[in-house]
Amino acid sequence: MMKLATGKLPFATLNTNERNSVLQPIELMNVIIEEPQIKLPMGQFSQNLIDFVNRCLRKMPALRLSGQDLLQCPDQNRHQF
């Protein structure tokens, strides 16, 4: 969702020119673990879309909604982004 909305990956270091090559899985895991999550810019997107993307990108699985929960999100189902 982040890439579709902004054209950028959800972690800043993945968007640098030196990262244009394909990352190995362990490198990608390190970026996900070590780098803070970026968020959609306020004012450019609806609050519904910002909240939905934030719920999708939470690092801790216990805080992230399941795929089934996300499919049942009322805003997602009504396309109110």
pTM: 0.63
Q: Do 9 and 2 meet the contact criterion of CB atoms below 8 Å apart?
A: yes
Mean pLDDT of 47-56: 84
**pLDDT for 20 beyond 60:** no
Give the DSSP per-residue string, 2-50.
HHHHHSS-SSGGGGSGGG-SPPPHHHHHHHHHHSPPP-PPBTTB-HHHH
For the cut 70, the answer to whether the pLDDT of residue 62 exceeds it is yes
- The average pLDDT across 4-33 equals 73
How sure is the predictor about 56, in pLDDT bands with cuts at 50, 70 and 90? Answer: confident
